[in-house]
Amino acid sequence: MDWNSLKILALVAHKGSMSGAAKELGVNYTTVFRRMESLENEIGGKLFERGSKGYVATPLAEKMLVFANRMRDGAEQIERQIVGREFQPSGVVKITAPFNIANRYLPEALRPLAQDYPDITFEILSSNDDFNLNSRVADIAVRATSSPPDHLIGRKVASIPWAMFVAESFMERFAQPPTLETLADYPLIGASGSMLNLPAFTWLEKNHATAIVARCNELTAMSYCAESGHGIAFLPVDQRRSGLVELAEFAPGKTSDMWVLSHPDLKKTERIRIVVEQLVSYFRSLDF
């Protein structure tokens, strides 16, 4: 027996008319009439009587409606719990970001998604390494770069200036705040490794290398060196926090352009699209 015929039977009984059932289904009256006529021929009995208030189900139809309604309820439950879930965004999204961004910003950025899309889970990779998105080590990269790779797609979400940062106790040791011209008179925190390629530290090596008392290969480590009183750290202002005093903008650091990047092959993957849109919206809302 065709389920569609039972579905129409239930609708005719509910609406009290074949025209009402036809309208609900988006078909014409003749289609519904022929379906009911074919069903009556199949079971060998009459399904409806014409009454003053429309079509009234016969005792035979009433018995069939018990099963038809169960089938309808089951189909609706499948749609809600199984089919609907299949089309809900789900799965793991891997996001790589520099240490400070991953630790201080990503948890807050992703919080609304954890509420709205509970079937999306996150793997956060705190690193400055340029993970190969082609190999799916990460799905999304939040990176500070002036020239994102051509093979990735993305959007610039912020331009972050640099500043000089010191411990709260710094000015107790030095009567005057430093300027670019007087940096040689103060202990400085410099860079090592690949960090030396950044404009801030290229300038620092060229002009005040002899004043450097400590070196780090990562910005967050520099910030904690400054907080501990080792000297002046030169940092993008996303590193602002209690315990650090921001002295002045550091023009040689230029600005760090922050990008949210992903692989083109993933742009139609719904969970990736949702997370990218949230990250773009969140970072653009910040006042760096």
What residues contact 71, with CB distance under 8 A and at least 6 apart?
Answer: 3, 6, 7
The reported pLDDT for the residue numbered 86 is 47
249 forms beta bridges with 163
Task: Classify strands 91-97 and 140-144 as parallel, antiparallel or unpaired.
Answer: parallel
> Does the predicted TM-score (pTM) go above 0.85?
no
**Buried/exposed 78-97: b ≥16 CB within 10 Å, e otherwise:** eeeeeeeeeeebeeebbbbb
205-216: pLDDT as tens digits: 999 999 999 999
CA–CA distance from 156 to each of 147, 190, 240, 281 (Å)?
A: 10, 27, 21, 11
**Is it the case that residue 95 has pLDDT exceeding 90?**
yes
What span, in angstroms and rounded, lies between the C-alpha atoms of 19 and 209? 88
- Average pLDDT of span 186-195: 95
Q: By the 8 A CB rule, do 190 and 201 touch?
A: yes
**pLDDT tier, 277 (very low <50, low <70, confident <90, very high otherwise):** very high
Percent of the chain with pLDDT over 70: 93
**Which tokens go with 46?**
């009459």
- Residue 224, classified by CB atoms within 10 Å of its CB into exposed (0-12), middle (13-18) or buried (19+), is middle
The reported pLDDT for the residue numbered 76 is 65
Helical ranges in the chain per DSSP H? 3-15, 18-25, 29-43, 59-78, 84-86, 99-100, 106-116, 170-173, 199-208, 219-227, 270-285
**Is it the case that residue 83 has pLDDT exceeding 60?**
no
**Which tokens go with 269?**
């993957």
234-250: pLDDT as tens digits: 999 999 999 999 999 99
**C-alpha dihedral sign at 92, 96, 99, 102:** negative
Task: Classify strands 153-167 and 233-236 as parallel, antiparallel or unpaired.
Answer: antiparallel
Closest CA to 101 of 142, 139, 129, 132: 142
